[in-house]
């Protein structure tokens, strides 16, 4: 594993940790991968071999720890969380790296951020929306409230509470609950009309038992360049399956 870790000062000076593997070869573009909520680059992309698979195939894989996640800063100041702050962070990173030709993908929250990037001026060659469905993009308010409630219940929820798994995952990743609550408020619903004009070739990649973020088939059908592929697993377990990286590679290299 040839892993580089470096610090990046984002548009507002907040420090983000960037993890990088591989070098772009044989005409392949660098690929930026954005992890899911309460996760980090290591858990989502490195631990289960997905980044290594892409790097071995000739991709430069760039994986930020999102603001308030992983080794990146998690300010407890609401001013550090303007609307669409993750989009602003990603655009600042793309500009810093001077990337004109690149691919872009994300899982769950990372997929939501990828979709928002696509409607806010990002122009990747290809895009991946993993662990994503239509309702998770167009109906965020209900999803946000679920996670806000998980944060509120983090010290009192019982094992039979529907928030239990999210709480345990948040704790296992050492997420700062104050920063996470601020971050959750920076997202808004994506209008269906905005999604429909995305013409970037886009892979909607979802576990066969995963409907946490809505219907992936409907999402792929709405995108003019959309293609849906199912892999084994639920929202949580699909990340651990080799098929996630394999399908990403098949799409990016095709």
pTM, full prediction: 0.96
3-class DSSP assignment, residue 33: strand
pLDDT of residue 114 exceeding 90:
yes
For residue 67, the model assigns a pLDDT of 98
Instruction: Please count the residues of the chain.
Output: 254
Q: What is the mean pLDDT of residues 84-110?
A: 97
Query: Predicted confidence band at 141 (pLDDT cuts at 50, 70, 90)?
Result: confident
CA dihedral 37, 91, 215, 249 (to 10 degrees): -90
3-class DSSP assignment, residue 39: coil
Stretch among 65-79, 138-152, 165-179, 211-225 having the lowest mean pLDDT:
138-152
Residue 183: which residues within 8 A CB-CB, separation 6 or more?
67, 68, 81, 85, 86
Q: Where would I find the H helices in the chain?
A: 41, 50-56, 85-96, 109-118, 134-138, 140-152, 164-172, 177-184, 192-196, 216-222, 242-253
Residue 27: which residues within 8 A CB-CB, separation 6 or more?
none
Share the mean pLDDT of the chain. Answer: 95
Domain boundaries, the chain: 3-138+188-253
Query: Predicted confidence band at 171 (pLDDT cuts at 50, 70, 90)?
Result: very high
Identify whether the C-beta of residue 96 lies closer than 8 Å to the C-beta of residue 170: no
Closest CA relative to residue 239, chosen from 204, 203, 202, 207:
207
pLDDT of residue 88 exceeding 90:
yes
pLDDT of residue 188 exceeding 90:
no
pLDDT of residue 144 exceeding 90:
no
Q: What is the mean pLDDT of residues 71-100?
A: 97
Fold classified for 3-138+188-253:
Rossmann fold (3.40.50)
Rounded percentage of the chain residues whose pLDDT exceeds 70 = 100
Tokens of 215: 């219907």
Identify whether the C-beta of residue 148 lies closer than 8 Å to the C-beta of residue 181: yes
For residue 143, the model assigns a pLDDT of 82
Mind listing the pLDDT tens digit for each residue in 190-237? Answer: 888 888 889 999 999 999 999 999 999 999 999 999 999 999 999 999
Identify whether the C-beta of residue 50 lies closer than 8 Å to the C-beta of residue 244: yes
Helix axes 164-172, 140-152, angle to 10 degrees: 70
How many angstroms separate the CA atoms of 35 and 27, rounded?
25
Closest CA relative to residue 242, chosen from 37, 64, 79, 51:
51
Tokens of 145: 């409230």
């Amino acid at each position: 594993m040839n892993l580089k870790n470096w610090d990046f000062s984002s548009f507002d000076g907040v420090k983000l940790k960037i993890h990088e593997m591989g070098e772009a070869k044989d005409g392949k573009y660098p690929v930026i991968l954005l992890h899911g909520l309460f996760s980090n680059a290591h858990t989502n992309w490195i631990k289960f071999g997905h980044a290594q698979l892409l790097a071995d195939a000739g991709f430069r894989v760039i994986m930020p720890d999102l603001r308030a996640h992983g080794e990146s800063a998690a300010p407890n100041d609401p001013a550090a969380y303007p609307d669409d702050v993750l989009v602003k962070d990603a655009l600042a990173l793309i500009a810093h790296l001077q990337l004109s030709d690149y691919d872009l993908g994300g899982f769950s929250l990372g997929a939501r951020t990828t979709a928002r990037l696509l409607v806010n001026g990002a122009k990747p060659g290809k895009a991946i929306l993993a662990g994503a469905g239509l309702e998770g993009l167009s109906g965020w308010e209900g999803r946000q409230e679920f996670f806000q409630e998980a944060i509120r219940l983090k010290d009192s929820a019982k094992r039979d509470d529907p928030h239990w798994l999210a709480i345990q995952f948040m704790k296992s990743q050492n997420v700062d609950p104050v920063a996470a609550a601020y971050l959750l408020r920076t997202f808004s619903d994506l209008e269906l009309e905005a999604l429909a004009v995305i013409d970037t070739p886009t892979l909607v990649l979802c576990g066969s038992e995963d409907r946490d973020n809505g219907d992936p088939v409907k999402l792929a059908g709405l995108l003019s360049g959309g293609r849906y592929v199912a892999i084994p697993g639920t929202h949580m377990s699909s990340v651990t399956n080799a098929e996630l990286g394999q399908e990403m590679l098949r799409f990016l290299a095709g």
